[in-house]
């Protein structure tokens, strides 16, 4: 890929990356079993996917949230608890990375000779599409309103996620996508996206009047 391939990523990052990636996959599998086989279904299938995918970037920390918030019995309006309102955006970003990064690398597309910019655009577009589907399925939001909320959410997420990718690129700390360190760093980026996106996610929830404590 066209992003810098260099030795500036510290050696300790690679083993740490593979350990956390393994824990993340295991976490997603545990939540999937809980959802699909043990009866902890959410209100919609998209929320099932949101929770399962949360393990892909939060790793074992997702289990702590899942154990506490997995019971949707008292949430008939489709809202998520305040503590996890950002998870749909995080899961959309994680899925968009898994699909978008290989597509961009395989296509060879670049902007100004750098595929990072194409990657950010493709990931953003995929995340918007996924969030629109989630909004429609979970809250029954009209398409236009769902698209507005999705675009606003992704833009806020990209302050953290996209900013992190640009920072890694400028610092020449972006490994190739074939390395575990790349995906570990992207997990960190999704978490940063959760942080920068949360004020917008909170505002949208209050605007819809479905926020829960």
Residues 192-204 have pLDDT tens digits of 999 999 999 999 9
For residue 125, pLDDT over 90 is answered with yes
The phi and psi torsions of 11 (rounded to 5 degrees) equal: -60, -30
For residue 159, pLDDT over 90 is answered with yes
Q: CA separation (Å) from 15 to 9, 19, 92? A: 12, 6, 26
Confidence of residue 1 (pLDDT cuts 50, 70, 90): very low
111 - beta bridge partners?
114
pTM exceeds cut of 0.85: yes
For residue 4, pLDDT over 60 is answered with no
Q: Strand, helix or coil at 111?
A: strand
Token pair recorded at residue 104: 């961009």
The full set of domain ranges for the chain reads: 13-68+83-208
Confidence of residue 123 (pLDDT cuts 50, 70, 90): very high
Confidence of residue 209 (pLDDT cuts 50, 70, 90): low
Range in 11-20, 69-78, 140-149, 177-186 with the lowest mean pLDDT: 69-78
- The predicted pLDDT at position 145 comes to 92
Distance CA 128, CA 124 (A): 6
Mean of the pLDDT values across residues 72-82? 61
Q: Strand, helix or coil at 212?
A: strand
For residue 121, pLDDT over 60 is answered with yes
**Residue of 13, 167, 157, 149 whose CA lies nearest to 96:** 157
């Amino acid at each position: 890929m066209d992003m810098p391939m260099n030795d500036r990523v510290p050696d300790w990052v690679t083993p740490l990356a593979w350990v956390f990636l393994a824990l993340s996959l295991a976490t997603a599998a545990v939540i999937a079993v809980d959802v699909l086989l043990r009866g902890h279904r959410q209100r919609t299938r998209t929320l099932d996917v949101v929770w399962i995918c949360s393990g892909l970037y939060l790793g074992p920390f997702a289990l702590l949230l899942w154990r506490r918030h997995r019971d949707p019995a008292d949430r008939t309006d489709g809202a998520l608890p305040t503590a996890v309102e950002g998870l749909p955006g995080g899961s959309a970003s994680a899925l968009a990375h898994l699909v978008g990064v290989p597509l961009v690398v395989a296509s060879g597309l670049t902007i100004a000779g750098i595929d990072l910019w194409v990657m950010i655009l493709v990931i953003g577009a995929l995340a918007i599409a996924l969030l629109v589907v989630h909004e429609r399925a979970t809250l029954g939001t009209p398409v236009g309103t769902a698209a507005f909320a999705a675009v606003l959410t992704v833009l806020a997420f990209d302050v953290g996620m996209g900013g992190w990718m640009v920072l890694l690129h400028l610092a020449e700390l972006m490994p190739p996508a074939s390395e575990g360190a790349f995906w570990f760093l992207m997990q960190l980026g999704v978490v940063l996206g959760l942080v920068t996106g949360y004020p917008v996610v909170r505002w949208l929830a209050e605007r819809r009047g479905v926020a829960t404590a």
